[in-house]
Structure 1
Amino acid sequence: MWSWKPSSAFKPTMIRRPPTVICYICGREYGTKSIAIHEPQCLKKWHNENNLLPKELRRSEPKKPEVRTITAKGFYDLDALNEAAWTSALSQLVPCNICGRTFLPDRLIVHQRSCKPKAAK
């Protein structure tokens, strides 16, 4: 005879994402192994793009945040590291002097071509 099994027999398994690290320069997520490859390339790209900007939009080089939070097991606290990296990436954004929205400097130039002050009522 056929018997029906309760739904507990068909538990969906949770798929855990591998841990990721946020790049302090661009704000994108990378695996814990590939971040070491990405960061030097990202910094080189940042320098190339920064040198092409007008002098008034050039920024100082982003500094890698130092997070000294180590867990009881001797690992870095990825949440604290990612929070510091995300804050660093956000600090790279420049506000538009017309509307106040923030952009990467190369995108701000494009935005300012079409950004117009609001007409007074």
Structure 2
Amino acid sequence: GQRAAHFPEILLPLAPIHMDNFNPGQPCANRPAPTVFCYICGRQFGSKSINIHLPQCLKKWHAENDKLPKNKRRAAPTKPDDVIVGGAVDHEATNEAHWKASQGLMLECEHCGRRFKEDRLPVHQRSCTADNPAKRLGSKSKERTKK
């Protein structure tokens, strides 16, 4: 009653909705968003998010690298060139180059030989020591017998 007097448009009938020309096209859920690998950490990001991530990731890489003894510090990672095929960027090949670059930045544990991201190696080495090295992944410790 009283509320409707302040909002007379509420009392008007709605205009009919015509669906004749409505064609939504393919649902967006069926098309995965393009993703890009970070050449520093190897994680995947949306094509728009990667530009937000890269400066932060490089800053973190420098912070971790600066914690290392001077003789173990490395040069800053450089972004691999885009792979061009037929005059256009080959996104799949470029992504693979970025991922491989990130894998090359991993550090090897001096005790067990496994490779870790720079910030994860000290965590690993709390339990992996010269006296008690961790087992390599994929090593055959016990063969399962089939019953």
* TM class by smaller structure: 0.7 to 0.9
State whether structure 2 residue 110 is matched by structure 1 residue 97. yes
Name the one with the larger helix percent: 1
Equivalent-residue separation in structure 2 for 1:40 and 1:105 (angstroms): 17
State whether structure 2 residue 98 is matched by structure 1 residue 85. yes
Corresponding residue of 2:10:
none
Corresponding residue of 1:25:
40
Unpaired segments ≥5 residues, structure 1: 1-12
- After TM superposition, the runs of 4+ consecutive aligned structure 1 residues lying more than 4 A away are none
- Cα separation, partners in 2 of 1:19 and 1:71, compared to 1, 3 Å: farther
The CA deviation at 1:64 is: 0.2
How many aligned residue pairs are there? Answer: 104
Structure 2 counterpart of 1:46, one-letter code = W
State how 1:3-42 maps to structure 2 within 5 Å.
15-42=30-57
Find the residue that maps to 1:21 and give its secondary structure. Answer: strand
Corresponding residue of 1:62:
77
* Higher Cα radius of gyration: 2
Equivalent-residue separation in structure 1 for 2:57 and 2:133 (angstroms): 34
For residues 5-32 of structure 1, the C-alpha deviation after alignment (integer angstroms, 9 at most, x for no partner) is xxxxxxxx87121111101011111111
Equivalent-residue separation in structure 2 for 1:71 and 1:20 (angstroms): 22
The CA deviation at 1:56 is: 4.2
- Indicate the percent of aligned positions where both proteins have the same amino acid: 53
